[in-house]
Structure 1
Amino acid sequence: MEWREEGIVLGVKRHGETSVIAELMTRSRGRHLGLVRGGRSRAMRAVLQPGNTVSVHWRARLDEHMGAFSLEPLTLRAGALMESAIGLHGVQLAASHLRLLAEREAHPRLYDGFLVLLDNLTGSGLTAGELMLRFELAILEELGYGLDLTRCAATGASADLVYVSPRSGRAVGREPGEPYKARLLALPDFMTARDLAADGAGLRTGFMLTRYFLARHVYEPRGIEEPLSRVSFVAAASE
């Protein structure tokens, strides 16, 4: 069995004296592990850094085996990512989100979004923050817990949406939500208006929203904690 594709490095684990087990995100084969012989060499260490894009040749005797990777570098962006807190914590956070997915399950939308995110982690913190927030919304949707922020759950209107129901994950308009606002989650305006950019306060509110649903549907049921990289990234992107 074998296949060839491009992949993005999420991380590695030592295996023996000279090899590593690499974890990659691919577009059509999802999150995939493979043995890289000689992966601890100086040349390969530079390639096997989180955020780098590589050409992958996977081979195994049977499809269900972990198999081995042969890798060639394509885009080495890890060095630039490590130069800022946003880049460093951003690539770690995105990788932790992708690890919530089952192995070898294709998520092409997330792969494409991951590429866009990586290419913007070295620029504006607000831009990177907004892209990460939308990446978290996509993660929730791919896991089956997507939020409906397009229209009011009470009236069906698509304007003046300022709340989200913590029970249903659906948006609620200002007027129908006013009597219940103490029990609703805040929805920043840039998340529903295409012509508005995020600011620091809006980003913090948006990340509080996605954190609630990640904790409720993912972290708590699986018995895991919110990644420290998320706390650090939100602080860096919204300051």
Structure 2
Amino acid sequence: MIVLDGEPAFVLHSRHYGETSLIVDLFTRSHGRLAAYARGARKRSKKSASNPLAPFIPLIVSTQGRGALKSLTMIDAVATPFKLSGRCLYCGLYLNELLMRVLPEQESQETIFQSYMQLIGRLANIDDRELPAHELYLRRFEWQLIQAAGVSFSLEQEADTQRPLVPGQRYAYRHGLGLVAAEIDAENAVGGDAILNFLSAPELTEAARTDLKRFMRQVLAPLLGRKPLASRALFSQ
């Protein structure tokens, strides 16, 4: 049984439990995603101007208890909250929902924890006009999550022929296999240039960003299941 003792964490989501308490979904540095019981948290939040159990606040937390659901005994904010607004806030909520839906519980994800903190910090320091230029970092984070969930395939060669990807070719994603050559006008295909530049280029063209967004949605779909992401609906408002 995992007991936290001064563990760096972020709150991903919380839900009511009884009349005054919360079940809090945490993303911790050493133990990944897990839930904890925050006794009386709703009552305390009404009396305080700040809410330490809000998203995007770097925390140190401790828990105790013998059961599977531990009780939070310490919740300390250790840095200024990351203040996200507009579509950047929607992106942050999207990241939290991805972590909830894709990551297994109670598995260490230290690299992803660090990447999450850096990406939230990046989103907090830009506005909606600058967001398109930073979408590449969202796509790279999605790829990290996909690999952490056990899905892995080459971004350098075709899955069926092992031929190297080339910039002028279009590729289709095949679940359980990877990237295969596709017709130039194939639906949902992605350009070879977008894939090849994905992990190393400092920026991408608008067409490449659109390709990668479509591509990542295809790869994530089996991991997310049929239930739509609530955060995606925010972007259509």
TM range (shorter): 0.7 to 0.9
Distance 2:134 2:74 in 1: 31
Q: What are structure 2's unaligned runs of at least 5 residues?
A: none
1:170 aligned onto 2:172? no
Question: Residue 58 of structure 2 aligns with which residue?
Answer: 53
Distance 2:117 2:173 in 1: 30
Please, which of 129, 154, 163 is the counterpart of residue 135 of structure 2? 129
Question: Residue 97 of structure 2 aligns with which residue?
Answer: 96
Residue 147 of structure 1 deviates from its aligned partner by 3.7
Q: Are the counterparts in 1 of residues 190 and 211 from structure 2 also a CA contact under 8 Å?
A: yes
Distance 2:169 2:177 in 1: 13
Distance 1:44 1:9 in 2: 18
1:206-225 map, 5 Å = 206-215=212-221, 217-219=222-224, 222-225=225-228
More displaced 10-residue stretch of structure 1: 196-205 or 101-110: 196-205
Q: What are structure 1's unaligned runs of at least 5 residues?
A: none
More displaced 10-residue stretch of structure 1: 142-151 or 116-125: 142-151
Runs of 4+ in 1 over 6 A off after TM superposition: none
AA of the residue aligned to 1:160: P
Q: Are the counterparts in 1 of residues 155 and 179 from structure 2 also a CA contact under 8 Å?
A: yes
Distance 2:204 2:195 in 1: 8
Residue 45 of structure 1 deviates from its aligned partner by 5.2
Aligned-pair Cα RMSD in Å: 2.8
- Of all paired residues, the percent bearing the same amino acid is 21
Distance 2:230 2:213 in 1: 14
Q: Are the counterparts in 2 of residues 150 and 158 from structure 1 also a CA contact under 8 Å?
A: yes
AA of the residue aligned to 1:223: R
1:1-239 map, 5 Å = 1-40=3-42, 41-42=44-45, 43=48, 46-62=51-67, 64-78=68-82, 80-81=83-84, 83-86=85-88, 88-100=89-101, 101-122=103-124, 123=126, 124-153=130-159, 154-157=161-164, 159-160=166-167, 162-167=169-174, 170-171=178-179, 177=181, 182=186, 185-187=189-191, 189-193=193-197, 194-215=200-221, 217-219=222-224, 222-225=225-228, 227-230=229-232, 232=234
Residue 67 of structure 1 deviates from its aligned partner by 2.9
Q: What's the TM-score, normalizing by structure 2?
A: 0.80
Q: Are the counterparts in 1 of residues 4 and 61 from structure 2 also a CA contact under 8 Å?
A: no
Aligned residues: 223
Q: What's the TM-score, normalizing by structure 1?
A: 0.79
Q: What per-residue deviation string (whole Å, max 9, x for no partner) do you get for residues 88-110 of structure 1?
A: 11111111111122221222222
